[in-house]
Chain A
Amino acid sequence: AQTVTQSQPEMSVQEAETVTLSCTYDTSESNYYLFWYKQPPSRQMILVIRQEAYKQQNATENRFSVNFQKAAKSFSLKISDSQLGDTAMYFCAGTTSGTYKYIFGTGTRLKVLA
């Protein structure tokens, strides 16, 4: 069985500052994929970043980067230079090859303060 745990229900950060959202992922599979999704008030699920478990290099997408610690089962998201538009719910998710069913964490509500 796979589990995804997000232990920070809410966080806030000042505009232009850096914030890190935490996630832990547990699976018995060796080949898996991890994601961070952003859900603004519009409800749309927007892919922020993805990480393949077999890659040692941490993924980066502009202001967003991950710290993937495989042994610790940790997959945190760092947002640099936070912007007001980053205010949203952020979900950590994982999947394995085969049926590609996603398992989601309970989310972290991030508020960027002006």
Chain B
Amino acid sequence: NAGVTQTPKFRILKIGQSMTLQCTQDMNHNYMYWYRQDPGMGLKLIYYSVGAGITDKGEVPNGYNVSRSTTEDFPLRLELAAPSQTSVYFCASTVNTEAFFGQGTRLTVV
């Protein structure tokens, strides 16, 4: 049982490039989330999904897009990367209020 798996673990992007952060879970959870963690700060919600085909914005959605075509996968798309998107990104899923987090992706935009 792998839990929540994120790829890649590290990535350096140039300003203006695009990329997709992958997230998959094998626990059949309906609820999935993307958070970002800036240095010295707590996690802030970017987007979330309550089931396949349903997504909604969180606190800091600008510059990101998501899709949820299956229960297992919840990719996060960055279009036109900016230095302000340098952060650590966490994917999570929840069941009965308990959250399960991936290992995080450290993204640097230069």
- B contact residues, total (Cβ < 8 Å): 24
The interface residues of chain A lying within 8 Å CB-to-CB of B48 are 99, 101
Count A-B contacts at CB 8 Å.
58
Which of chain A's residues has its CB closest to B41's CB?
A106
For chain B, what secondary structure do more than half of its interface residues adopt (helix, strand, loop), or is it mixed? strand
Given contacts A43-B88, A50-B98, contact A101 B41 (CB under 8 A): no
B75-110: which have CB < 8 Å to A? 88, 90, 92, 94, 97-99, 101, 103-104, 106
A interface residues, Cβ below 8 angstroms from B = 4, 6, 9, 33, 35, 42-45, 47, 50, 91, 93, 95, 97, 99-102, 104-107
Other A-B pairs, 15, CB within 8 Å; known A102-B33, A102-B99: A35-B99, A43-B88, A43-B103, A45-B101, A47-B98, A47-B99, A95-B99, A99-B31, A99-B56, A101-B58, A102-B43, A104-B35, A104-B43, A104-B44, A107-B42
